[in-house]
Structure 1
Amino acid sequence: MTPAINVARKQGITHHIHQYDHDPAVASYGTEAAEALGLEGNRVFKTLLVSLNGDARQLSVAIVPVTRQLDLKACAKALNAKKADMANPKDAERATGYVVGGISPLGQKKRLPTVLDSTAQEFETIYVSAGRRGLEIELAPNDLMGICRAVKAAIAR
């Protein structure tokens, strides 16, 4: 059981857990999840951390499809910041309580401002990390946004 799964259960939202054998040699955790679960890559979302306005302590979460890249300018705008940069992986792990490749937007140690790419609304359910490599949680985009208090914006390119 991970904090992400515990949060989904506690909130009483409909969700499904999907597990697969993670290959430690893989370069793209999100693509691995999509392929292992036989899913379209645009339905599987990766959780990325960004630092805002050049401040490594001002972290936020961006959730985008694994088939696309994060548009840092669009992300900054969605989070009312002047600038966004990818966060240092160690800072991301410290802030969330998860390891890179298994960072879930749910159940993080500290609630961070969160933005979900608007393409998530194209699907009844999407997949995000459930808190460790090889484990995904499937849930409705609106449920994810509600739990994370996320805003929706076009942040992927």
Structure 2
Amino acid sequence: MAKKTLKKTLVEQILTKAGITHQAHHFNGLEGQTPDELDRARIFKTLALKGDKTGPIIGVLSIEDHLSEKKLATISGNKKVQMIPQKDLEKTTGYIHGANNPVGIRQRHHFPIYIDDRALDFTSILVSAGEIGRSVQLSAQDLADFVGASFANFRKKGEE
């Protein structure tokens, strides 16, 4: 039986058009469904927050780590940041919870994007491809260059 190929997500299309090497994956990492060969620490979630001075900001952090809002606030030039309420997420980023991704958000908005520096420990990381159950694997540096992101440590202490 032939394997059904899924239509590329908008994020995959954007990366392909930009010539950025990436690989598509089909699993829901947020619900713990990861292929055995993938290190969960390489799967990064895209968090949408609001800073008291800057407005929306995006943090990209391993699903194994916890966000330090205090560190991200300092890094982003805010006194405090907080998660955008789920009910406001789609109207702010254009994506529902679980589908937020730095590539798609950058295409629509120019929110500051920060990638946790742990991403640099890996040859590649996985981020959402803009649809639940779809991910793309690519170099963290390629991702940062493409979306204009900065690397910084905004993990909670004990996860350094």
SS of residue in 2 equivalent to 1:132: coil
CA distance in 1, matches of 2:132, 2:144: 22
Answer whether contact 1:120 1:141 (CA < 8 A) is retained. Answer: yes
Report what 1:26 is aligned to: none
1:117 shift after superposition: 0.2
Equivalent residues in 2 for 1:87-98 (5 A)? 87-98=84-95
TM-score normalised to the size of structure 2?
0.84
Structure 2: which 5+ runs fail to align? 1-7
Residue number among 54, 74, 78 corresponding to 1:77 in the alignment: 74
Report what 1:123 is aligned to: 122
SS of residue in 2 equivalent to 1:143: helix
SS of residue in 1 equivalent to 2:136: strand
> Which structure 1 residue ranges, 4+ long, deviate > 4 Å from structure 2?
none
Report what 1:154 is aligned to: 153
1:6 shift after superposition: 2.1
What do the CA deviations read for 1:5-64 (whole angstroms, capped 9, x no partner)?
Answer: 1221121111000113x5xxxxxx52524x346422211000001110178xx1110000
What do the CA deviations read for 1:83-136 (whole angstroms, capped 9, x no partner)?
Answer: 111111232211222110111111222221100000000011000000111101
Give the CA RMSD over aligned residues.
1.8
CA distance in 1, matches of 2:50, 2:9: 25
Give the aligned length: 147
Equivalent residues in 2 for 1:13-24 (5 A)? 13-20=20-27, 22=28
Q: Which has the higher strand share?
A: 1
Percent identical = 29
Report what 1:101 is aligned to: 98
Report what 2:4 is aligned to: none
CA distance in 1, matches of 2:57, 2:36: 28
CA distance in 1, matches of 2:35, 2:97: 18
Structure 1: which 5+ runs fail to align? 23-28
TM-score normalised to the size of structure 1?
0.86
The one-letter code of the counterpart of 1:93 is: E
